[in-house]
Amino acid sequence: FKELADRKKQIYDEDIVALVSDEMLRGQEKIRLVSLAVVAGTKGPQQATLSLDVDGEVRDTTATGNGPVDAIFNAIHELYPHQANLQLYQVHAVTEGTDAQAEVSVRLEQNGKAVTGQGADPDTLVASARAYVNALNRLLVKRDKTAPVALTATV
């Protein structure tokens, strides 16, 4: 909350709801966003330098893309390879103004299993990275819950 308050002039109820919602989703993550830096603009390729914590191991990479969000998603895929397909990317401002908190939804699908991840942050690109990582974590939980259990018999 303090970090959000330091970055925004006014905090609205919607900001707090989005913040709590985002924190609740971070409970038992296999993958966690550590840091993100993005280069975007009219010249050169857009680039994302990203650090993820995967099972306690911090991994770093830099990736490019057609835009900053594409570069971020490419970097995540590079650090945590997977076969999931992006089905939805949606951004909406939780409050008014240029310092509004962005809430991003990302839907991923893999092997018939679809999940939606969400992320909130005053920085739309950070919210995008959080949403994608959250969707990957949800996909992993869903996969683990539906994985067949090996049966053993004692003789």
pLDDT tens readout for residues 14-53: 556 556 654 555 566 899 999 999 999 998 899 999 999 9
Nearest to 125 by CA among 66, 63, 39: 39
Greatest C-alpha distance within the chain: 69
Output phi, psi for 113, to 5 deg: -100, 125
E strands, 40-130, are 46-54, 57-65, 85-93, 102-110, 113-121
- The identity of residue 27, as a single letter, is G
Domains observed in the chain: 2-146 (3.30.160.270)
Residues of the chain with pLDDT under 50: 22, 151-152, 155
3-class state of residue 12 by DSSP: coil
Cα 111 to Cα 125: distance, rounded to the nearest angstrom: 28
Nearest to 110 by CA among 71, 140, 65: 140
Cα 76 to Cα 119: distance, rounded to the nearest angstrom: 15
Residue 142 confidence (pLDDT): 81
Helix axes 68-79, 124-146, angle to 10 degrees: 40
**Burial of residue 112, with CB atoms counted within 10 A of its CB: 0-12 exposed, 13-18 middle, 19 or more buried:** exposed
Cα 102 to Cα 125: distance, rounded to the nearest angstrom: 9
Cα 48 to Cα 69: distance, rounded to the nearest angstrom: 8
Residue 98 confidence (pLDDT): 81
Taking the whole predicted model, whether its pTM rises above 0.85 is answered as: no
